[in-house]
Amino acid sequence: MSIKVSSVIKTYASQKALQDISFEASKGEIIGFLGPNGAGKSTMMKILTGFIKPNSGSVFVNEVNVIQTPQEAQKNIGYLPEHNPLYGDMYVREYLQFRASIFKIDKSQIETCIKKVGLQTEAHKKINQLSKGYQQRVGLAAAILHNPSVLILDEPTTGLDPNQLVEIRALIKELGKNKTVLFSTHIMQEVEAVCDKVIIIKKGTILIDENLDTLHENNKQTIAVSFDSAVSKEVLFTLPNLRDIEVKNSGWLLHFETEDDMRTVVFDFAREHHLKIVSLNAQTKNLETLFRELTTG
């Protein structure tokens, strides 16, 4: 396992930020860490990178105990904190040289990283002359200078314009080809575009920890239907490809396992059972809707 977090609890004075968090990441996975503001994402990331300690629980990165030996663990970890703290008056190359010298990294890495993040044309400029997208690239270059196998990126796409968003997402995906990446965001589409796995956190508790494929599989198609007279669940379960049924308002929510349009099948079912359809509505639940359902209220 690249990352193994077990039963982490963190409180700030009386504020509970993380309540019994456990999750794992395998080598080479890109994980979207998703949750509304205040959910505990940054706190978890600071604990993962060894910058703050939890009240209890354990954290391992590449089998190294982050809580007991943070500096040892940090050799394997690249971290881009929220709001990407950079020295605006420094030139890009100069800044990376400065970082390399603090962390005693071989300077030959600098050009490799500049290339990896696509900064070649901007590397001679001052950081504060760069667009926000290029500044994020500088942050990413700094995070990968020591060639860590695990990257922790705290909201790397916040504040970017749509083109920059696409570019930085592509870059994260590229970096994720041979690194384990955990990045936080509150944008579900971002997770869909980049990640293998999603962890949704709210009020310091994990609500979902799932591979995206499984999540898509489980949310293929839902039909909300109500009939003029009663019908039992047993009879409804004779519908093909039906995974689950819920009672909703005065009708049913039928969750199907197929992406084929099941509306006509439900019409035929109603006719066969002498039921009249009062309302019918197909809802293809995308992950954005799922996220909203889970994190609001």
Cβ distance 35 to 182 under 8 Å? no
Q: Of 9-17, 57-65, 121-129, 164-172, which segment contacts ligand ADP by CB under 6 A?
A: 9-17
Burial class of 243 by CB neighbour count within 10 A (0 to 12, 13 to 18, 19+): middle
The tokens of 169 are what? 């997402």
Q: Does 138 sit near ligand ADP (CB under 6 A)? A: no
Q: Does 202 sit near ligand ADP (CB under 6 A)? A: no
Give least dist CB 220 to ligand ADP, A. 29
Fill in the amino acid letter for 54.
P
Q: Does 55 sit near ligand ADP (CB under 6 A)? A: no
Among 17, 123, 165, 194, binds ligand ADP (CB under 6 A): 17
State the Cα–Cα distance between residues 46 and 24, nearest whole angstrom.
Answer: 16
Give least dist CB 72 to ligand ADP, A. 24
Give least dist CB 243 to ligand ADP, A. 32
Could you count the other beta carbons within 10 Å of the beta carbon of residue 71? 9
Give least dist CB 288 to ligand ADP, A. 18
The separation between the first and the last C-alpha atoms of the chain, rounded to the nearest angstrom, is: 34
Q: Which is closer to ligand ADP, CB of 184 or CB of 221?
A: 184
Fill in the amino acid letter for 223.
I
Give least dist CB 29 to ligand ADP, A. 21
Q: 243: helix, coil or strand?
A: strand
Cβ distance 41 to 32 under 8 Å? no
State the Cα–Cα distance between residues 154 and 157, nearest whole angstrom.
Answer: 9
Q: Does 15 sit near ligand ADP (CB under 6 A)? A: yes
Among 40, 57, 133, 148, binds ligand ADP (CB under 6 A): 40
Closest CA to 95 of 68, 41, 135: 135
The tokens of 27 are what? 């080598």
Q: Which is closer to ligand ADP, CB of 39 or CB of 262?
A: 39
Cβ distance 279 to 250 under 8 Å? no
State the Cα–Cα distance between residues 106 and 117, nearest whole angstrom.
Answer: 18
Q: Which is closer to ligand ADP, CB of 34 or CB of 225?
A: 34
Q: Does 50 sit near ligand ADP (CB under 6 A)? A: no
Q: Does 70 sit near ligand ADP (CB under 6 A)? A: no
* Partners of residue 151 on adjacent β-strands: 78, 181
Q: Does 35 sit near ligand ADP (CB under 6 A)? A: yes
- The upper half-sphere exposure of residue 22, i.e. CA atoms within 13 Å in the direction of its Cβ, equals 5
Phi, psi dihedral angles at 100 (to 5 degrees): -60, -40
Q: Of 11-19, 61-69, 71-79, 92-100, which segment contacts ligand ADP by CB under 6 A?
A: 11-19
Give least dist CB 44 to ligand ADP, A. 7
Q: Which is closer to ligand ADP, CB of 14 or CB of 121?
A: 14
Q: Of 10-18, 56-64, 165-173, 286-294, which segment contacts ligand ADP by CB under 6 A?
A: 10-18
Give least dist CB 283 to ligand ADP, A. 28
Give least dist CB 291 to ligand ADP, A. 14
Contact residues: ligand ADP, CB under 6 A: 12, 15, 17, 35, 37-43
